[in-house]
Amino acid sequence: MTQIDHQIHSLRPDASGSKAFKIIAFLYGIAAYLVFFVTILYAIGFVTGLVVPKTIDMGTDTPAAEALIVDLLLMTLFAVQHSVMARQGFKAWWTQFVPKPIERSTYVLFASLSLLLLFWQWRPLPPLVWDVANPGLAVTLITLSFAGWLLVFTSTFIINHFELFGLHQVANHLAGKRAEPPRFKTPLLYKFVRHPIYLGFIIAFWAAPTMTAGHLLFAAVTTAYIFVGIALEEHDLVALFGDEYRQYKQRVSMLIPWRKSV
Ligand SMILES: C[S@@+](CC[C@H](N)C(=O)[O-])C[C@H]1O[C@@H](n2cnc3c(N)ncnc32)[C@H](O)[C@@H]1O
């Protein structure tokens, strides 16, 4: 058994546990999923500036330098939490304390809470970088942004929405089933790009008719973080799936379907 095989084995949700624990774990999984769902809906409003009470261009009036530091700290907190807790080594360590069936739900809950903290504490940076005056172009950009969010949602369902957000694991545990080990998949959009979810986020963050300095900071830092996240994720995927993933990387672009990219 390789080290990775051992880690995967140790991450599989345990089919054991009392009925009461299984029910509590299931309810916890549903609660974590609902928190995630509210957070992602809020994220759409936060970035597009629509519907929600506090958007990326609202918040406490703060001197620019202070706003820059606060916003960078909030994004760093999210990036560190999101990346560190997703690594196989970290999962193998913390499942000594967190029951395996609820490991993914706990990850989803922590990621959602750090995003909610970002939305709450975000400081606006109002200077305009661009403001599209042409109504047709403005509508095209906002439509493109929603197309980005749609790409994110669709891709999660294509790869496995309920497993990504922990519901599959708690439902399996409740039913007394052992989870299957992770499988390499290239369904639909994954045949054209390796990271359609991340592509959707990039489109959603950049396609804005009004781009303030604060929004630009958010789009630039999250895009940089996505590239770091891809490097870390692909390192793990190569360790998990070996040549299958190496060949996939050679065959299929990272983000842009019509251009072979690394
Ligand atoms: C948030 S999803 C993002 C998936 C992909 N990077 C994207 O942008 O669509 C991250 C999870 O998907 C898994 N994953 C990514 N590509 C995969 C593939 N081709 N087959 C199976 N799992 C994959 C990773 O191991 C990780 O647990």
pLDDT tens, position by position, 93-106: 998 899 999 999 99
pLDDT reading at 249 higher than 50: yes
262 within some domain: no
* Ligand 1 pocket member 196 (CB < 6 A): yes
pTM score, whole prediction: 0.89
**Ligand 1 atom closest to 86 (CA):** 27
261 within some domain: no
pLDDT reading at 192 higher than 50: yes
Cβ partners under 8 Å of residue 131, min gap 6: 209, 210, 211
pLDDT reading at 7 higher than 60: no
pLDDT reading at 2 higher than 80: no
* Ligand 1 pocket member 190 (CB < 6 A): yes
18 within some domain: yes
pLDDT per residue as tens digits for the range 142-179: 999 999 999 999 999 999 999 999 999 999 999 988 87
Give the number of domains in the chain. 1
* Ligand 1 pocket member 245 (CB < 6 A): no
User: Quick one: average pLDDT of 60-66?
Assistant: 92
119 within some domain: yes
Q: How many Å lie between the centroid of ligand 1 and the Cα of residue 109?
A: 19
Q: Which three-class secondary structure state does DSSP give residue 20?
A: helix
* Ligand 1 pocket member 155 (CB < 6 A): yes
pLDDT reading at 6 higher than 80: no
Give the structural domain span for 11: 3-251
Percent residues over pLDDT 70 in the chain = 92
Q: Tell me the H-state helices in 86-178.
A: 88-94, 103-121, 135-159, 161-164, 167-174
pLDDT reading at 5 higher than 50: no
pLDDT reading at 10 higher than 50: no
pLDDT reading at 207 higher than 60: yes
Give the span between the Cα atoms of 99 and 249, in whole angstroms: 34
256 within some domain: no
Residue of 161, 237, 252 to mutate, ligand 1, most atoms within 8 A of C-beta: 237
ipTM of predicted complex? 0.96
pLDDT per residue as tens digits for the range 11-62: 444 545 788 889 999 999 999 999 999 999 999 999 999 899 999 999 888 9
pLDDT reading at 259 higher than 70: no
pLDDT reading at 9 higher than 80: no
Give the span between the Cα atoms of 30 and 166, in whole angstroms: 9
pLDDT reading at 210 higher than 70: yes
The pLDDT value recorded for residue 45 is: 97
259 within some domain: no
179 within some domain: yes
Give the span between the Cα atoms of 85 and 173, in whole angstroms: 21
The conformation of residue 253, written as its DSSP 8-state character, comes to B
Count Cβ atoms within 10 A of the Cβ of residue 102 and give its class: 0-12 exposed, 13-18 middle, 19 or more buried. buried
29 within some domain: yes
Tell me the one-letter amino acid at 84. Answer: V
The conformation of residue 129, written as its DSSP 8-state character, comes to E
